[in-house]
Amino acid sequence: MRFLFFACAALLLLSPIALTKPGKSADSKNADWPQWRGPGRNGICAETGLLKEWPKGGPALLWDAKKVNGGASVGTGMSSLAITQGKIYTMGDVGGKKGSGAHVFCLDADSGKEIWKTKVGPPSMGSPGPGPHSTPTVDGERLYALTTQGKLTCLKSADGKILWEKDLVKEFGGQHPGFGGYGESPLVDGDKLVLAPGGKKCMVALNKLSGDVYWTCDPPKNDGTGHGSIVKAEVGGVKLYITLAHKKLGLIGVEAESGKFLWSYDKVANGTANIPTAIVKGEYVFISTGYGTGAALLKLVPDGNGGVKAEEQYFLKGAKLQNHHGGMIMIGDHIYGGHGHNDGLPFCLEWKSGKFAWGPERGPGARSAAVLYADGNLYFRYENGVMALIEATTTGYKAKGAFTPPLSTPAWQHPVVYNGRLYLRGNDQILCYDIRQK
């Protein structure tokens, strides 16, 4: 799942800054952000040459997509942004009597100008936030979008033409997580497209070109899916997919080649919403959930029968560490994120021991915080709209600047850094800021 938010745009659009393409200081080879939480699904951006501190009032605003497009928005939604090959992709609900429903939008990343939009389903489920929650996954000439009701659509990334569709509920007996419906972002792995319908089939793998079924996974317990997105791991030559289900299963592991159910760990599961995306490093998996649940480090080991099992290394109760939503970042041997249910207290945790290097601290914003890493700093976007820059160091909490962009709240949409720019989405709006070092 997901979350994040940011004046005289007309003047800025005419300024030299706005008309200047991103410079060489940004690492253009690694700039693409084609899916949820970036290339590695880990919230880590490889760009360099970015501002080390923010001026009072924040970085310079380059454009406001709503003003660029004559008042038209990207629809209401909690979807974050995928940005690749100079184009932004996101999802939103469009109202009105004609053509209302969930849409995928494509905008120019330099100017914010809309390129195309395509309807992919009916209006989204209304709770807890308006609009779609999933972020599109872009794979070359195709992209994949999932509505809150479980409708999966494959579109051409160039023009938004629909190539094929699937329904996770009707075709696989899927059971969405409630509390807003489906919110995961589809995973592309080689020629496979992998999703977690929940219910009768806890995970499915499709041919990414045709939508044909490679395999489906039968869980030991019929359980809803979670809000997190699937990540990959490999142990002893066995490749597996990992994601959160609901209360009965919790975190699950599924063999990537066959769809065989391998293991589950329910200590981090709650009955409301299991949201964060797991962190994988080698044979270890770190996961945390909110609603008073907690956090855990698991070790994946061969089970002696050609499969893999998960062994708990430690479990931290919710009072010590819980990531409600907004996710966590792993840099080296430390994990950074926001602690607390409905809170985002910055922390730095040594991952093997489960001990804090510093924090949790009270940052400049309030409520849960979505986190991104780029060029030595953490980009914290708080639910109340505050955007903060915090140094990613193990020596203590070091604030490097904060500002409140003029965007709607709750600011759950995750921020994205692309080609020296910071992109922030509000409920129906996208703002672009220049964060290059001058």
Tens digit of each residue's pLDDT (9 = 90 or more) over 275-288 = 999 999 999 999 99
- What number is the average pLDDT over the span 10-29? 34
Q: What is the pLDDT of residue 128?
A: 58
SS3 405: coil
Tens digit of each residue's pLDDT (9 = 90 or more) over 388-423 = 999 999 999 999 999 999 999 999 999 999 999 999
Return the number of other C-beta atoms located less than 10 Å from residue 100's C-beta. Answer: 14
User: Could you write out the DSSP letters of every residue in 226-262?
Assistant: -SS--EEEEETTEEEEEEEB-TTTBEEEEETTT--EE
Dist CA 261 CA 364 (whole Å): 43
Dist CA 59 CA 403 (whole Å): 9
Task: Report CA torsion sign: 234, 238, 244, 250.
Answer: negative
Residue pointed to by tokens 């220049």: 434
The yes-or-no verdict on residue 21 having pLDDT over 80 is no
Distances (CA, A) of 184 to 165, 181, 225, 231, 240: 17, 10, 9, 11, 18
Tens digit of each residue's pLDDT (9 = 90 or more) over 187-232 = 999 999 999 999 999 999 999 999 999 999 999 999 999 999 999 9
Instruction: Record the tokens describing residue 290, joined without a space.
Output: 């909110």
Tens digit of each residue's pLDDT (9 = 90 or more) over 291-338 = 999 999 999 999 999 999 999 999 999 999 999 999 999 999 999 999
Residue 334 near residue 349, CB atoms below 8 Å: yes
The yes-or-no verdict on residue 20 having pLDDT over 80 is no
Three-state SS annotation for 86-151: CEEEEEEEECCCCCCEEEEEEEECCCCCEEEEEEEECCCCCCCCCCCCCCCEEECCEEEEECCCCE
What length is written for the chain? 438
Task: Determine what percent of the chain is predicted with pLDDT higher than 70.
Answer: 92
Tens digit of each residue's pLDDT (9 = 90 or more) over 332-374 = 999 999 999 999 999 999 999 999 999 999 999 999 999 999 9
Dist CA 270 CA 287 (whole Å): 13
The yes-or-no verdict on residue 127 having pLDDT over 70 is no
Q: What is the pLDDT of residue 26?
A: 39
Task: Determine what percent of the chain is predicted with pLDDT higher than 90.
Answer: 89
- Among 245, 343, 340, 237, residue whose Cα is nearest residue 292: 340
Return the number of other C-beta atoms located less than 10 Å from residue 290's C-beta. Answer: 25
DSSP state of 343: -
Q: What is the pLDDT of residue 121?
A: 95
Residue 212 near residue 206, CB atoms below 8 Å: yes
Dist CA 209 CA 370 (whole Å): 32
Q: What is the pLDDT of residue 180?
A: 86
| 332: Cβ contacts below 8 Å, ≥ 6 apart | none
Dist CA 302 CA 304 (whole Å): 6
SS3 438: coil
**Higher-confidence residue: 378 or 126?**
378
- Beta strands per DSSP E along 236-393: 238-244, 251-255, 261-265, 279-281, 284-289, 294-302, 308-317, 328-331, 334-339, 345-350, 355-358, 369-374, 377-382, 387-391
**Higher-confidence residue: 244 or 14?**
244
Of the candidate ranges 4-13, 197-206, 233-242, 375-384, the one whose mean pLDDT is the lowest? 4-13
The yes-or-no verdict on residue 11 having pLDDT over 70 is no
Tens digit of each residue's pLDDT (9 = 90 or more) over 46-56 = 999 999 999 99
CATH architecture of 9-434: 7 Propeller (2.130)
Q: What is the pLDDT of residue 77?
A: 94
Distances (CA, A) of 139 to 158, 281, 339, 414: 11, 24, 33, 20
The yes-or-no verdict on residue 431 having pLDDT over 80 is yes
Categorize the per-residue pLDDT at 129 as very low, low, confident or very high, splitting at 50, 70 and 90: low
Residue 422 near residue 88, CB atoms below 8 Å: no
